[in-house]
Amino acid sequence: MSTEDRRALEQEFDALTARIGAIVPADRKAGVVACCEELRRMTALVHGPRSPAVEPANIYSLKPTRARS
């Protein structure tokens, strides 16, 4: 990640934490941003072209049930 991209990521993190009201301990921030950078690299890998059949709806296993009388 370039210095500019890293600075942009840090600004994005600052804006987000300000919006949600999180107070980030100053001595921990650089480590959080470094992990955000790692995560951003990983996130790029999950955004790929996929078949329409690949979608996460299979997390449910619903069985028909009768309404209570």
Partner 1 sequence: MSAREPLHELSIAEAGARLRAGTLTSTALTQHALNRVAALDPVLNAFLLVTKERALADAERADRELKSGIDKGPMHGIPHALKDIYETAGIRTTCHSKLMLDHVPKEDGTAAAKLAAGGAVLLGKLATHEFAIGGPSFDLPFPPARNPWNRDHFSGGSSSGSGAAVASGMVRTAMGSDTGGSIRSPAAYCGIVGLKPTYGRVSRRGVFPLSYTLDHCGPLSWSVEDAALTMQVVSGHDPLDPASADVPVPDFAAELGSDLAGLRLAYPRSFFVGVDGISPEVIAGVDQAVQYLARLGATVAEIKLPDFELFNACGRVILTAEAYTVHEENLIKRGGDYARLTYQRMMPGAMVSAADLIQALRMRRELHDAVARVLETHDAIVTVNALAPAIRLDAFPADATLRTPGHTIPFNVTGHPALAVPTGFAKSGLPIGLQIVGRPFDEPTVLRIGAAYESVAQWTAKRPQLELKMAG
CA dist 4 and 10 (Å) reads: 10
Query: Is residue 20 involved in binding partner 1 (CB under 8 A)?
Result: yes
Candidate list 31, 62, 65, 68; residue touching partner 1; CB under 8 A: 31
CB contact at 8 A, 17 and 53: no
Candidate list 2, 3, 23, 65; residue touching partner 1; CB under 8 A: 23
Candidate list 1, 5, 12, 18; residue touching partner 1; CB under 8 A: 12
Nearest-approach distance from CB 69 to partner 1, in angstroms: 23
44-to-25, 27, 40, 53 alpha-carbon distances in Å = 28, 28, 6, 21
